[in-house]
Amino acid sequence: MCGIVGYIGNKNATPVLIKALKKLEYRGYDSAGVAVYTGENIIVQKAKGKLVNLAEKITGEIIPENLKDEAYTAAELSLYEKTDSFIKGNLGIGHTRWATHGEPSDTNSHPHTNMDGTISIVHNGIIENYSELKAKLQSQGVVFQSQTDTEVVVHLIDKYYKEEKDIFKAVRKTLQALEGSYAIAVICKDYPDRIIACRKESPLIVGVGKGENFIASDVPAILEHTRDVYYLGEKELVVLYSDHVDLFNFDGEKIIKELSHVEWDMDAASKGGYRHFMIKEIHEQPKALIDTMRPRIIKDGKGCPTDVYFEENKMDDVWKTAGRVVITACGTAYHAGVVAKYAFEKLARVQVDVDVASEFRYRNPILNKKDIFIVISQSGETADTLSALRLAKENGLKVIAITNCVGSTVSREADDVIYTMAGPEIAVASTKAYTTQLMCLYLLAIKAGKLRGTLSQEEASKLLSELETVPAKIQQILDDKDNIQKFASKQFNKDKVFYIGRQFDSATSLESALKLKEVSYMHSEAFAAGELKHGPIALLDTKSLVVAIASDPELYDKIGSNMVEVRSRQAVVLVITQNGKAFKGKTDEVFQIPECSSVLASLLTVVPAQLFAYYCAIQKGYDPDKPRNLAKSVTVE
């Protein structure tokens, strides 16, 4: 997830672009850049790190660290204004980056340009077929500067521009060659009166001003200048001039759209109209899962999924002979590891030990060079996880990292990295990072199953096809969120909440209980359902809520009996299941999830639990984005 902006009008584009990018920093902040047409040339400036670094690079002025902030400090604002005197031009594009392909660096920052610097582009999204396109362009003599997927786009536009002699045609022809998701803005020295922009599966809006026009990934970027916007639809293009905009479909036909007037205030706008980042990120899960999964599923000529591909993969042979898999992580990431234990053992028939990283490192663990070591970390900076990784490496193990942050310490120190494509997660409580971690782990388990010969081609294809249906099923759950909200409004005053489940569902119970306690401060615990009667049942009374997670039809009877035991102690019971009818008379409430095989259902069952946690926090009047005593990234032991 990155942020892009574009400006054309009477003002100097540079400060307009930089201030607009500041409003999009929530979409990524590992580097930023602008390209401005000065009347003679396109000048590009880019810098690793936060946007303020870019302004410092442009102005040559450094401001003290304590005057830099996520909020806009006066010192920062004044620095952004000062860029006005350094790069002058009325046309430009800008980018704030969340790295997916290529580490955060000046070179990998956008904008990217063609070889003679006459065309410049910014991109938000992922070009899935970039390696083939890059190889072809290289064979035709194109020299690449960066490791990004994006750079292929500008070289393709350049190639087609030379053939077509028309920049609009060149952009359209380029789009036909691209697979993946994108919002792209293009400027060309030969067309100093326009910006061309387009979108497919990544957001893009057009801000319409008086004598000036804008494009941006999100509304907050342009609110200072205008509240009149076109929401660009799927596969639509826009050509912006200073006095008007023309809209097109990908076939190049002109289209007419209704101009919308934005009524939101700035705070609401930065959360995309949602009240909090947590609920926004819960809603981003279908898209994040598509981004994480789609480039990695290999298909045959008929479009049937056959295998899994990971970009950085040096470990196929290791999987064939692995004696054991050891997973370490903390918090939510640890819970993803617990789900993975069930998935790997079932699909790849390999023994899996999962450890909390803070425990693992202090107990002199028994490690064997034939073990595969997996660390999971959204931030890639968690101190305990990092120490566990180092310990494994000291013992000669190969380490795979699953992380959301390109260039993080964990990603640099591991042997292989699998990136979750969740985009920046702002809320402290992890939601989309968790489900994208699960997606990576399921893909890895399927790949391992194939390599180890424990999963037939037919079984692997079936599972991969089913994985492809998951984002739409999560959307169905989200569309039904009012039911969870109503339930939360009745239950948020419960003294204790217990999540129970068996097998995969016991892992989801752990994550569900953590989510609830993190944001609503309600006392919640998770138990393997069969363990209830060995002690925890003593806690149950009329002030208890028990949430049973039941996604495996073969275990319905067993968990049904546990629910009856609970109900007879006067606790309220909710069941999250594909088949509410199976629990008739055993539950007070049912939350139905779409049909899904039990092995993959962990991707779905957690979503109602995330929503329940969020709505309980709201009912209690807490800010779920900033829970007390918690930090997003725990870099101390």
Going by C-beta distance under 8 Å and a sequence separation of 6 or more, which residues neighbour residue 226?
207, 208, 209, 214
Q: Which residue has the tokens 């903390």?
A: 330
Catalytic residues: 2, 632
- Give the distance between the most distant pair of CA atoms in the chain: 80
Cβ proximity to ligand AGP: between 217 and 378 the closer is 378
Using CB atoms within 10 Å of the CB of residue 314, give its burial: 0 to 12 exposed, 13 to 18 middle, 19+ buried.
exposed
Cβ proximity to ligand AGP: between 378 and 512 the closer is 378
The stretch near ligand AGP (CB under 6 A) out of 57-65, 76-84, 326-334, 595-603 is 326-334
Kindly list the strands in the beta sheet with 398-403, ordered across the sheet, starting from the edge strand earlier in the chain: 351-356, 324-329, 371-377, 398-403, 416-419
151 near ligand AGP, judged by CB under 6 A: no
Distance of closest approach, residue 282 Cβ to ligand AGP, in angstroms: 12
Cβ proximity to ligand AGP: between 579 and 633 the closer is 633
Radius of gyration of the chain (CA): 25
Q: Which residue is nearest to ligand AGP (CB)?
A: 331
CA distance 362 to 452: 32
Torsion of CA 503, 505, 506, 512, to 10 degrees: 160
Among 377, 409, 435, 503, contact with ligand AGP (rule: CB under 6 A): 377
Among 122, 195, 389, 428, contact with ligand AGP (rule: CB under 6 A): 428
Beta bridge partners of 462: none
Site size toward ligand AGP (CB under 6 A) is 16
382 near ligand AGP, judged by CB under 6 A: yes
The stretch near ligand AGP (CB under 6 A) out of 87-95, 149-157, 175-183, 427-435 is 427-435
CA distance 7 to 209: 10
Residue 373: φ, ψ to 5°: -110, 125
Distance of closest approach, residue 250 Cβ to ligand AGP, in angstroms: 38
> Would you say the C-alpha torsion 437, 441, 443, 444 has a positive or negative sign?
positive
Cβ proximity to ligand AGP: between 291 and 518 the closer is 518
411 near ligand AGP, judged by CB under 6 A: no
Token pair listed for 553: 């039809």
Distance of closest approach, residue 387 Cβ to ligand AGP, in angstroms: 12
Going by C-beta distance under 8 Å and a sequence separation of 6 or more, which residues neighbour residue 394?
none
Cβ proximity to ligand AGP: between 122 and 330 the closer is 330
CA distance 413 to 405: 13
The stretch near ligand AGP (CB under 6 A) out of 114-122, 422-430, 499-507, 532-540 is 422-430
Distance of closest approach, residue 390 Cβ to ligand AGP, in angstroms: 15
Distance of closest approach, residue 116 Cβ to ligand AGP, in angstroms: 42
Cβ proximity to ligand AGP: between 331 and 423 the closer is 331
Distance of closest approach, residue 425 Cβ to ligand AGP, in angstroms: 9
The stretch near ligand AGP (CB under 6 A) out of 7-15, 426-434, 461-469, 587-595 is 426-434
3-state helix, strand, coil in the chain (%, to 5): 40, 25, 35
Contact 61, 79 (CB under 8 A): yes
DSSP calls for 351-392: EEEEEEHHHHTTS-----TTEEEEEEESSS--HHHHHHHHHH
Q: Within positions 516 to 555, which residues make up the interface with ligand AGP, using CB under 6 A?
A: 518
Distance of closest approach, residue 378 Cβ to ligand AGP, in angstroms: 3
Torsion of CA 10, 12, 17, 23, to 10 degrees: -80
- The neighbour count for residue 212, using CB atoms within 10 Å, is 20
379 near ligand AGP, judged by CB under 6 A: yes
332 near ligand AGP, judged by CB under 6 A: yes
Among 391, 429, 566, 606, contact with ligand AGP (rule: CB under 6 A): 429
CA distance 56 to 579: 58
Cβ proximity to ligand AGP: between 332 and 503 the closer is 332
Token pair listed for 371: 């073990």
Distance of closest approach, residue 335 Cβ to ligand AGP, in angstroms: 8
435 near ligand AGP, judged by CB under 6 A: no
Cβ proximity to ligand AGP: between 308 and 428 the closer is 428
149 near ligand AGP, judged by CB under 6 A: no
Q: Is the peptide bond before 111 cis (omega within 30 degrees of 0)?
A: yes
- Site mask for ligand AGP (CB under 6 A), range 470-499, x = bound: ------------------------------
The stretch near ligand AGP (CB under 6 A) out of 51-59, 160-168, 196-204, 372-380 is 372-380
Q: Within positions 607 to 636, which residues make up the interface with ligand AGP, using CB under 6 A?
A: 630, 633-634
Q: Within positions 502 to 521, which residues make up the interface with ligand AGP, using CB under 6 A?
A: 518
Distance of closest approach, residue 60 Cβ to ligand AGP, in angstroms: 35
Distance of closest approach, residue 247 Cβ to ligand AGP, in angstroms: 41
Cβ proximity to ligand AGP: between 221 and 406 the closer is 406
Among 330, 528, 549, 599, contact with ligand AGP (rule: CB under 6 A): 330
Going by C-beta distance under 8 Å and a sequence separation of 6 or more, which residues neighbour residue 464?
297, 305, 306, 307, 308, 446
> Would you say the C-alpha torsion 432, 435, 437, 443 has a positive or negative sign?
negative
Using CB atoms within 10 Å of the CB of residue 84, give its burial: 0 to 12 exposed, 13 to 18 middle, 19+ buried.
middle
Cβ proximity to ligand AGP: between 151 and 511 the closer is 511
Q: Within positions 112 to 131, which residues make up the interface with ligand AGP, using CB under 6 A?
A: none
Please report, as ranges, the residues that interact with ligand AGP according to CB under 6 A.
Answer: 330-333, 377-379, 382, 385, 428-430, 518, 630, 633-634
